[in-house]
């Protein structure tokens, strides 16, 4: 694996190429092989314009939720709601940060989620039935994207362990595999270069002990309301000690499995993104430092405050024991 030497000066926003731009370049290079002389490449903006066209459709309405409020942690400042819902990574809805909030294709109601695989009692969950009948819990978590920006977000949902336990995993269940909805009509990036060159559906995975850890969360709400499409409506994973790409959105399947399942970013660039993806300021991304992050709070996006990144994103006391004896440089 390539490990970049840490530079003496702190990173600026320009030092980190957003994943989308990097992956687009890879795609364009691939495309050029087909004959550069005859192909006119639409610009990124041009492709987006072609694929939109429903721009005036109303944005998904969110509804207030029944959720027990969490205590406000004294050391954390919440990211303003309008930033949490307008600066997103959800490549199925476009690779620019502002694309997902402007795409109005996803129809999250009704929605079913399967819990299956190595379990005694597989079941299919009516997600809206769960939302309507459950008093959800609020969790205020740090979110650290692998691109070196971060937020603090108030999620509403249930612990992942609670749902998995209901299915009664067998002794062969060693990992948990998650899958996002596959429907290019609702998630247009799945049918075009708008999706950043990823093979869809987006898939993710956890080791069973990570999945059963009390911090692992299934969010059905944000800021006390049902999830907006751009944040992964109607149900998504939140694993706060791992890079944001592990927190897979709009899931339709949770499968208990025996072997380590494939994961989307690892498939795309295995030397850059591992299966574990624990936040670790000491292990740089091959193309940038992970020692610090741009916290998105009040104020302009690019004036955002740079702060040190914490081991396991600040959740080390709770989760470090899961990785005892593992070399975290090897298992990045």
Ligand X SMILES: Nc1nc2c(c(=O)[nH]1)N[C@H]1C(S)=C(S)[C@@H](COP(=O)(O)O)O[C@H]1N2
Q: What are the residues binding Mo ion (CB under 5 A)?
A: 89, 145, 244-245
Q: Residue 106's closest CA among 253, 249, 255, 265? A: 249
Q: How far is the CB of 205 from ligand X (least distance, A)?
A: 13
Give the three-state DSSP class for 45.
helix
Residue 220 and residue 226 in contact, taking contact as beta carbons nearer than 8 Å: yes
The residue within the footprint of ligand X, chosen from 205, 221, 240, 244 (CB under 6 A), is 244
Sign for the CA dihedral angle at 28, 30, 35, 39 comes to negative
Binding residues for ligand X, how many (CB under 6 A)? 17
Task: State CA 231 to chain mean position distance.
Answer: 9
Looking at 7-122, list the stretches that DSSP marks H as alpha helix, in order from N- to C-terminal side. Answer: 19-32, 44-51, 81-84, 99-102
Helix %, strand %, coil % of the chain (to 5): 25, 25, 50
187 contact choice in ligand X, Mo ion, none (CB below 5 to 8 Å, kind-dependent) = none
Site map for ligand X, 157-196, x if CB under 6 A?
Answer: -----------------------x----------------
Smaller CB separation from Mo ion, 214 or 286: 286
Alpha-carbon distance of 312 to 284, in angstroms, equals: 14
Alpha-carbon distance of 162 to 165, in angstroms, equals: 5
| Cα–Cα separations (whole angstroms), residue 201 to 68, 91, 253, 293, 326 | 33, 11, 11, 29, 30
92 contact choice in ligand X, Mo ion, none (CB below 5 to 8 Å, kind-dependent) = ligand X
Site for ligand X in 88-127 (CB under 6 A): 88-92
Q: How far is the CB of 319 from ligand X (least distance, A)?
A: 19
Question: Which residue in the shown chain puts its C-beta closest to ligand X?
Answer: 244
Q: How far is the CB of 197 from ligand X (least distance, A)?
A: 12
The residue within the footprint of ligand X, chosen from 202, 217, 312, 315 (CB under 6 A), is 202
Interior angle at CA 197, CA 191 and CA 199, nearest 5: 70
263 forms part of the interface with ligand X (CB under 6 A): no
Q: How far is the CB of 248 from ligand X (least distance, A)?
A: 5
- The dihedrals phi and psi of 102, each to the nearest 5 degrees, come to -100, -5
Q: How far is the CB of 17 from ligand X (least distance, A)?
A: 14
Q: How far is the CB of 173 from ligand X (least distance, A)?
A: 23
**Which residues does 122 contact at the CB level (< 8 Å), separation at least 6?**
114, 115, 116, 167
155 contact choice in ligand X, Mo ion, none (CB below 5 to 8 Å, kind-dependent) = none
The residue within the footprint of ligand X, chosen from 65, 145, 212, 256 (CB under 6 A), is 145
Q: How far is the CB of 295 from ligand X (least distance, A)?
A: 13
Q: How far is the CB of 15 from Mo ion (least distance, A)?
A: 16
Smaller CB separation from ligand X, 18 or 122: 18
Q: What count of other Cβ atoms lies within 10 Å of the Cβ of residue 299? A: 12
| Cα–Cα separations (whole angstroms), residue 93 to 106, 126, 171, 262 | 9, 24, 38, 22
Sign for the CA dihedral angle at 196, 198, 201, 202 comes to negative
The residue within the footprint of ligand X, chosen from 23, 150, 231, 290 (CB under 6 A), is 231
Site map for ligand X, 48-87, x if CB under 6 A?
Answer: ----------------------------------------
Site map for ligand X, 267-286, x if CB under 6 A?
Answer: --------------------
88 contact choice in Mo ion, ligand X, none (CB below 5 to 8 Å, kind-dependent) = ligand X
Residues near ligand X (CB under 6 A) are 88-92, 143, 145, 180, 202, 231-232, 244-245, 247-250
């Amino acid at each position: 694996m390539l490990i970049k030497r840490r530079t003496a000066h702190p990173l600026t926003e320009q030092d980190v190429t957003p994943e989308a731009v990097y992956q687009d370049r890879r795609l364009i290079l691939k495309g050029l092989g087909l004959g550069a002389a005859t192909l006119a490449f639409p610009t990124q903006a041009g492709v987006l314009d072609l694929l939109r066209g429903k721009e005036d459709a109303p944005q998904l309405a969110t509804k207030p939720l029944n959720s027990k409020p969490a205590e406000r942690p004294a050391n954390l400042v919440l990211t303003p709601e309008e930033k949490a819902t307008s600066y997103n990574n959800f490549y199925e809805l476009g690779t620019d940060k502002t694309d997902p909030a402007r795409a109005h294709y996803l129809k999250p109601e009704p929605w079913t989620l399967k819990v299956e695989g190595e379990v005694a009692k597989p079941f299919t969950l009516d997600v809206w039935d769960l939302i309507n009948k459950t008093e959800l819990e609020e969790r205020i978590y740090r979110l650290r994207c692998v691109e070196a920006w971060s937020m603090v977000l108030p999620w509403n949902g249930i612990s992942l362990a609670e749902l998995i336990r209901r299915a009664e995993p067998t002794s062969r269940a060693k990992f948990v595999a998650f899958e996002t909805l596959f429907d290019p009509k609702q998630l247009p990036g799945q049918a075009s270069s708008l999706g950043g060159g990823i093979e869809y559906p987006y898939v993710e995975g956890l080791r069973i002990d990570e999945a059963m850890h009390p911090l692992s969360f299934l969010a059905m709400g944000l800021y006390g309301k049902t999830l907006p499409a751009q944040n992964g409506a109607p149900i998504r994973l939140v694993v706060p000690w791992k890079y944001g790409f592990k927190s897979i959105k709009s899931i339709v399947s949770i499968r208990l499995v025996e072997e380590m399942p494939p994961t989307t970013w690892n498939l795309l660039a295995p030397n850059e993104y591992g299966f574990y993806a624990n936040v670790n300021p000491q292990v740089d991304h091959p193309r940038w430092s992970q020692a610090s992050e741009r916290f998105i709070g009040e104020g302009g996006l690019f004036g955002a405050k740079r702060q040190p990144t914490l081991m396991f994103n600040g959740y080390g006391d709770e989760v470090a024991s899961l990785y005892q004896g593992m070399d975290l440089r090897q298992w990045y």
